[in-house]
Amino acid sequence: MGASSSFAADLRVGLIGLDTSHVIAFTKALNDPKNKDHVPGAKVVAIFKGGSPDIASSANRVDGFTADLLKYPEIKLYESIAELAKNVDAIMIESVDGRPHLAQFKEVMTSGKPVFIDKPIAGSLRDAIEIFQLARKHKVPVFSSSSLRFNAMAALKGAKYGDLHGAFAFGPAALEPTHPDLFWYGIHAVETLYTVMGRGCETVARTQTANTEIVTGVWSGGRVGTMRGNRNSKGAYGVTVFGSTAVVSPELKTGYGALLQEIVTFFQTRVSPVAPEETLELIAFMEAADESKRRGGAPVTIAEVMKANQPK
């Protein structure tokens, strides 16, 4: 689903959190019609710095990314999220740190403007549940996804494998001490796995070594989905689909074009291409993987971690 051309004017977009390379890549693609990856329909016009002093990859980059964005004459830096929200049509929470996402969302939710929240949607399952609860309460459209979801969808388009029996997805899984293990980078492989498997995971079990994560989920009907996260190895992504008539392993390309097209369409229509229930379940999958690790690899149910992480 691409961006619609029926909207006459570009939507004005505000970026919150300038400590990820996504803000540069997204702005280039949205604001520069000559860019080879240009996505029409929206332009970045407002930014708020943000940043997390306890994460080096945030603190060391936010000023440089801010300076690069201010080279665009149409972009204005705001000192508060509230002021930014008043001057845009749509909002992208881009902070590389998932922990402030809930607080940042609370500052914009009463605006009623659609909000894209970059991965991870939050720094905990409890915060993710609360974001969606508040979104429903205030009738604010919210969408969160890794770019790998839409790259996997493109790669699997037209693939024929009969009835789905299971899938195996892999990708990098660098760790960050401030986040649950898979929330930082393993989420890309988890999102890829959910692109194929969809909702319905019941139990999760995990094995971890210094360089590897293996997380296996059992879905309703006995389908099995496995995520492998790699460290200190080539940073490649992939997926294999096991069906009743074929096994399919398409090449997964990286890039943000497909995701950005979905974001712009979401801003225009206010309809998320990913159900909130699926986003919450994949976050619960990662939380259950952490709980399984704490229990020495024992299976943990999705229902259990959802119940234990309800906002207080």
* Per-residue confidence in pLDDT tens, the chain, 312 aa: 344 444 558 999 999 999 999 999 999 999 999 999 999 999 999 999 999 999 999 999 999 999 999 999 999 999 999 999 999 999 999 999 999 999 999 999 999 999 999 999 999 999 999 999 999 999 999 999 999 999 999 999 999 999 999 999 999 999 999 999 999 999 999 999 999 999 999 999 999 999 999 999 999 999 999 999 999 988 899 999 999 999 999 989 899 999 999 999 999 999 999 999 999 999 999 999 999 999 999 999 999 999 999 998
Which of 127, 146, 165 is where one domain is finished? 146
Q: Tell me whether residue 115 is in a domain.
A: yes
Whether the bond into 120 is cis, omega within 30 of 0: yes
Burial letters for 266-295: b for 16+ Cβ neighbours within 10 Å, e otherwise? bbbeeebbbebebbbbbbbbbbbbbbbbee
DSSP state of 153: H
Residues 224 and 302 in one domain: yes
Residue 8 pLDDT: 53
Q: How many CA atoms lie within 13 A of 221 on its CB side?
A: 10
Residues 55 and 95 in one domain: yes
Residues 105 and 220 in one domain: no
Residues 217 and 188 in one domain: yes
Q: What CATH code is carried by the domain that includes residue 75?
A: 3.40.50.720
Domain that holds residue 159: 147-256+282-308
Which of 146, 177, 202 is where one domain is finished? 146
Tokens of 197: 């498997």
Residues 56 and 108 in one domain: yes
Residues 207 and 134 in one domain: no
Do the beta carbons of residue 197 and residue 164 sit within 8 Å?
yes
Work out how many domains the chain is built from and give that number.
Answer: 2
Which of 120, 146, 172 is where one domain is finished? 146
